[in-house]
Structures are given as structure tokens and as C-alpha cells.
Structure 1
């Protein structure tokens, strides 16, 4: 190997690009999750106890998923129809979307693959540029209740698209955020227009600055969407450090049918483990 080739190879290794070959997905089992329309259901509604019986369960250390995993589709129907927690129902809104999620790693990168069938739509096109957006959030067991409530710790009643939201610039945030202390959510996103974002949610949502996301690709094959993220196990500020044997909190959301703001379909909070038992396990390939 000559000097120039040696330098090029070293750069590939240092950036993770040399390891960024997608796994053989036919050999990776798929976990099944259903994302659902949450309506106007911020963490404050969940925890205040007067309208949601789960507040007592949370105090006992029971997770949202332990109670609701099997009924997310029914929950979505109630909220999409306006029967519960949605003052302005959206005509044509899909109440829930079943999603197959696969995960693997190669010691340098984590690979996440999401696939789902496009549901019927027809709602108002809030985001005219993007038919679909998919976001993933990871949390390192530092935020209070994140292991129980998932991404709901970033969802607050005063956010801009909530009925009581007053500040058009106020997005997701963590009440007791401490970026330097690890109290944040790592956020990566793919958009159908071709965008990929690597940021975090701490005292506010930031859609840039992360160093872990290598690539995010998606396409629609027939009536099925397939999105694949490639993420380095470690990055920089705002990136959760992953490692074999480690388990972190995991959730994702799909902005379907040109949706924006809170008008997405979301998962409950789950766990992601690398070579470790979890709701979604990424084994080494």
C-alpha cells in the first residue's frame, strides 16, 4: 500500500465509513411496534392524575408500554376521531401505523431499519416539502421517568402546536435538562425530501450539532416505506454513547401524510440493547 492509499484508509476508519456497510437484513429479526396518533396528550396530562389513571402506575415504576403496548391502535383511533384528547380532529388522519424495526451493529456503527405500509391519508398538507419524516430518540437512563414514559418527557403542554401553546417558537424540551450532565435525548431524523438531521433535545430541540449520524436513507417501494439509519456508536456533544452490552431508552415517531408539529404518530417508550436483551436488540453482524 502506498502512502496516499494508507492515508485514505486511515481516514475511512476514523470516520466510520469503512464499517458503514449495511447488514444482511434478511438475517436480522424484526420487532413489531405500532406508532399511534397521540392527540394533545403532553406529559403534564399523563402525570397530573385527574384524567389519566396511568399517573399512579408511573409513580409505582410501571412503564407506559407495560400497560398500553397491545392497545396503541385503539388509543390512536380515539384521539384521531376526537373522542379523546383532540379538540380539532384532522379528517383523514391515520390513527396508527404498524412498523417493523430491525437493528444490528458491526462494532463501529449501529444500523436501524424501519419499514411500514403507507396508510390512507388525505389530511391537510402541513409540511408541503415532506410527505414523510421519521425521527428516533435515544436516552441514556439519566432523565427522570424516561425509562417509563419514553419520549413523553420532551412533550409539554406549552409547546407551540399544543392547544394551550402560546409561543410559536417553543418546541420539545426536557424540564430538568443538563446537556453536559447527560440529561438529554439524542435525536436523529430522516425526511423524504432527502434531509438527515443529527441533534438533541435538552432545554430546547436542536436539529444539528451531532457527530454520530453517518447516513439516513429512505425510499418508497410500492406502498411500503423503508428507512435505514447508520449511526456511529459514539459521537460528540448531544450524542448518546453506545457500546456492546449497553441498553438505552428508545422511541420513534413518523410524521405521515405531510404532518408537522405534534400531529405525528409516535411510539411508546421502549429499550434498545446492543448484544443485550431489550425490546429491540442490535446483535453484532
Structure 2
């Protein structure tokens, strides 16, 4: 009897000490629907460029309220090819840079946690100098609630990318991603979560008037593995969030969603990015996280 009580007490202590230690992603991801999304190399296409009609033909559609994905979802790979090759809006093309990365995105939840899984085949390395020698790969996703960020409903993460952000031509290295008029207090921000392969850990931050890689309390776990040439990265994130810059996720609601992969030891704008999509929690959207 005494041994049983001790064992029960130890189990309780371990559970309390780890918070969501019992949280577990779906055991069989093959049963979870997958959305095929092509990430493209964006070149120099900040939000100022996509909204300028003399340079971007889609600017008129944006003004009418159309989403970038409505026009470009199936041609993301072709656009990436034009930019990676230097044919369009890339003044410093990187020889051998992958123009695009096809990714499968899966989502589910258990009433407490959201689970997001990204899988893709590793592109061939370009052979260019390693801009981030610590991390061959980084994966990040952003969430935005209520459309308070201008263009978040239409352009996804592009609202955080500006001509004066670091790694843009002529920009200061101290200027991070930001939201025009961004404010945590006013709810005008993106929730940002990132996993880094070399450091083998996740970061939970946000983008408002600047990018901050800490302060969030939603991230429970982030794991990634490379098997052969195939990557699989899984994020476990509390639905409730609860920290600075955390978006609370509720059943029946839809959120603005975008993600990026920094492949080939890339930093800054030299990543591959998705267009803007919608993530639904038990709700119809581009990607739906249904309760398991």
C-alpha cells in the first residue's frame, strides 16, 4: 500500500512539474488530412512592393479585397523560379538556390493543444556561404486574429516584411520585421513560433512594432527530424496561449496563418515563404484542425 501511494505521488509530481507533459500529437498522422502548400523564394517583394500597382499587377486585386492565394496558389513555384533566378525582383540571385519548397501541412487538436506538422523533402544545397552557421533549417509560423493587422486577411505574413527590414537592399541590420502601427495593447500583432534545427529548440514570440522571440507561453513542444532527405517538424501549442503576444485559439473560429522555412542556413529574406492562408479550429478553412 505504501509503495502504491509513493508511486502515485511521484506520478502527480511529475505531471505538475511538466505542465502539459501528457500532451501527445496524433499517433498516426496518416489519418490527418494534409494541405499541399508550395513555399516560394520571395526575392525583394516587401509589402510596399505588393501594394504598388506600377510594379505588382495584383495590387488592384488587393485593393478589392482579394487574397494573394486566390490568384497565386497554383503558381507559387513559377514565381519562385523567376525570383531565385534573378529574372524578377532579386538583385543578388544565389546560384543553386531552390526556387520553391512543396510542403504538406497537417493540423489537429485535443481540446487543450493545437498540433501542427510540416513535412517536405530537403532541397539540394546551393553551396553558398552559410548565413546562419548554427541552423541548417528553421521553421516558423505566424497566427493573426481578427484582421486587425492591415492585409493580414489577404497577404499572410507579408504585412511584416518591409523595404527597411534587415537583409533588404540598403537596409540597416538592426531593423527587424514589424507591423505598421503594431501594438500588443491594441491587438495589432502576429503570434510567432519558430523551431531551429541546430539549436534543437523552439521560440515563442510575436511581431508588433518589432519582432520579439520570447514572451509567449503557448509553445509546449517543437520537434524536428530528418530521415533520409525528408523533414518532419511538429509543433505542440496550447490553444489558450496565455503569454505576451499569444493568440488564443477557439473552436469554431478561423485565424490568418502563414509559415516559412529558412533552408540552406538562410537568414532574413533569403527564406521560403507561404502565401496567406486560413487555419480553422473545428471550422472550414484552408487548413482545419479537427478535434481528435
Is TM-score (shorter-chain normalized) higher than 0.5?
yes
Candidates 244, 250, 253, aligned match of 1:243: 250
Contact kept in structure 2, 1:246 and 1:274, CA below 8 Å: yes
Work out whether residues 15 and 21 of structure 2, in 8 Å CA contact, stay in contact via their aligned partners in 1. Answer: no
Q: Aligned with 1:147: secondary structure?
A: helix
TM-score, normalised relative to structure 1: 0.95
Is 1:225 the equivalent of 2:236? no
Aligned mate of 2:219, from 198, 206, 213: 213
Question: Taking structure 2 as the reference length, what is the TM-score of the superposition?
Answer: 0.93
Query: Which is worse superposed, 122-131 or 33-42?
Result: 122-131
Structure-1 residue corresponding to 2:66: 62
Match of 1:93 among 83, 97, 117: 97
1:176 is displaced (CA, Å) by 1.5
Aligned partner of 1:170 among 164, 172, 175: 175
The count of residues paired between Structure 1 and Structure 2 equals 282
Conservation of the 8 A alpha-carbon contact between 1:16 and 1:108: no
Match of 1:148 among 154, 169, 188: 154
CA contact (8 A) 1:127 1:258 kept: yes
Name segments (4+ residues, structure 1) moved above 2 Å.
1-13, 15-18
CA distance in 2, matches of 1:220, 1:281: 25
- What is the rounded CA distance, in whole Å, between the counterparts of 2:16 and 2:94 in structure 1? 49
Task: Write out per-residue CA displacement over residues 165-201 of structure 1, whole angstroms, 9 at most, x where no aligned residue.
Answer: 1x21101000021102211000000111112100000
Query: Is 1:187 aligned to residue 192 of structure 2?
Result: yes
Corresponding residue of 2:121: 117
Counterpart of 2:9 in structure 1 is: 4
Deviation (angstroms), 1:6: 7.8
Structure 2 partner of 1:132: 137
CA contact (8 A) 1:189 1:198 kept: yes
CA distance in 2, matches of 1:276, 1:16: 25
- For 2:163, the equivalent position in structure 1 comes to 157
Q: Which runs of 5+ in 2 are unaligned?
A: none
2: CA distance between counterparts of 1:101 and 1:153? 22
Structure 1: which 5+ residue stretches go unaligned? Answer: none
Which of 15, 21, 28 pairs up with 2:24? Answer: 21
Bigger CA drift: 3-12 or 57-66?
3-12
Moved more, 258-267 or 119-128: 119-128
Q: CA RMSD in A?
A: 1.5
For residue 246 of structure 1, report the CA deviation from its aligned partner. Answer: 1.3
